[in-house]
Amino acid sequence: MPSEFDLIRRHFTRPARHTALSVGDDAALLAPRAGMQLAVSTDMLVAGTHFFPDAEPEALGWKTLAVNISDLAAMGAEPRWAVLALSLPVADEAWIAAFARGFFACADAFGVDLAGGDTTRGPLNLCVTIFGEVPAGTAITRGGARTGDDLWITGTPGHAALGLAHLRGEIALPPAAAQSCLAALHRPQPRAAFGQALRGVASAMLDVSDGLLGDLGHILESSGCGARIDVAALPLAALHACGADEALARRCLLSGGDDYELLFTAPPSQREHLAVLALGHGLSLSRIGTITATAGELVLHEADGREHTTAHAGYDHFA
């Protein structure tokens, strides 16, 4: 049976790129660069709540870090360091090795050093705290949306929820669609570079983890405004192309979680600049609505011109 220290040395100790003191001492030493603020976020993934207990460990390793990087992306911050707290029922070395492979693949892809952590026996639970840097005063919060701002979303949200619907047997996706939707669910691609490029451009931003409408509600609440969504502008076509009918595509896009796309607001004067930025990042971008003055009101403007207000409840673990 490997000891806790063998496991840490074998699977979680890698040469540090930019960490003054990394795994192995009582604390890590991080040195933020001059003029930077630290952006810090924690996300916990719990077996049975956030993933199936028999989930493939390599993908789980990727996702555990990716969802944290996404939180920093949503602030316009650059991910730099992470610490990993692991609770494992058994010391299954093959599982841990695969998990670490996925975790470090994501760490390498986004320039993150694993600086420390904790490893303990217990119910399967994966918790990452991530530290990033953002030039002081430039972080993009949820509270800056203003009446008249455009509402934007990156990529094609809804694929992760469609993948989950497929896993649950609610729909049988054709093989190619199943593959891309399951990739969206298991290996989300945080929009780290694009989030940083939005500093000075976006007025408010968050990453969509619990569904577009629910997460939009957080921006509306923090910014004290409302929004009108133009249904015809929603990127539903990509979901239809996967085989989802209108109702399912809409549910996945508006209420599905786990996409980790960026939802942000920006003044209309930024439209041209945003188009150029998106092109430069190889990212599709949809302008899906407008920020309105009525605090907390969310209106859906249908393609036929009808309008109705809607609740913006997202996923609530305690509801």
Nearer to Mg ion (CB atom), residue 122 or residue 305: 122
Task: Name residues whose C-beta falls within 8 Å of residue 218's C-beta, 6 or more positions apart in sequence.
Answer: 142, 206
CB of 25 to ligand ADP, least distance (A): 5
* CB contact at 8 A, 161 and 257: yes
CB of 257 to ligand ADP, least distance (A): 26
CB of 111 to ligand ADP, least distance (A): 17
CA distance 151 to 43: 26
Tell me which of ligand ADP, Mg ion, none is bound by residue 190, counting a contact when its beta carbon lies within the kind-specific cut-off of 5 to 8 angstroms: none
Reported residue count of the chain is 319
CA distance 270 to 293: 20
CB of 118 to Mg ion, least distance (A): 4
CB of 81 to ligand ADP, least distance (A): 11
Nearer to ligand ADP (CB atom), residue 23 or residue 134: 23
Nearer to ligand ADP (CB atom), residue 2 or residue 148: 2
Nearer to Mg ion (CB atom), residue 118 or residue 307: 118
Q: Where are the alpha helices (DSSP H) in 74-140?
A: 93-110
Element (H, E) at 252: helix 246-255
Strand ranges (DSSP E) for the chain?
36-46, 78-88, 113-121, 125-135, 150-154, 204-208, 226-230, 261-266, 285-292, 298-301, 307-309
Tell me which of ligand ADP, Mg ion, none is bound by residue 114, counting a contact when its beta carbon lies within the kind-specific cut-off of 5 to 8 angstroms: ligand ADP
Tell me which of ligand ADP, Mg ion, none is bound by residue 24, counting a contact when its beta carbon lies within the kind-specific cut-off of 5 to 8 angstroms: ligand ADP
Q: Which of 166, 269, 288 is nearest to 215 (CA)?
A: 288
First to last CA, the chain: 42
Tell me which of ligand ADP, Mg ion, none is bound by residue 26, counting a contact when its beta carbon lies within the kind-specific cut-off of 5 to 8 angstroms: ligand ADP
Tell me which of Mg ion, ligand ADP, none is bound by residue 23, counting a contact when its beta carbon lies within the kind-specific cut-off of 5 to 8 angstroms: ligand ADP
Which tokens hold the place of 265?
Answer: 């607001």
Interacting residue ranges for Mg ion, rule: CB under 5 A: 118
* CB contact at 8 A, 215 and 74: no
Nearer to ligand ADP (CB atom), residue 99 or residue 152: 99
CB of 17 to ligand ADP, least distance (A): 15
Interacting residue ranges for ligand ADP, rule: CB under 6 A: 8, 12, 23-26, 84, 86, 114, 116-119
Tell me which of ligand ADP, Mg ion, none is bound by residue 102, counting a contact when its beta carbon lies within the kind-specific cut-off of 5 to 8 angstroms: none
Nearer to Mg ion (CB atom), residue 86 or residue 98: 86
Q: Distances in Å between the alpha carbon of 31 and those of 1, 27, 177, 297? A: 37, 13, 44, 43
Q: What is the dihedral of CA 50, 55, 56, 59, to 10 degrees?
A: -10
CB of 88 to ligand ADP, least distance (A): 9
Q: Which of 319, 288, 315, 278 is nearest to 160 (CA)?
A: 315
Nearer to Mg ion (CB atom), residue 108 or residue 118: 118
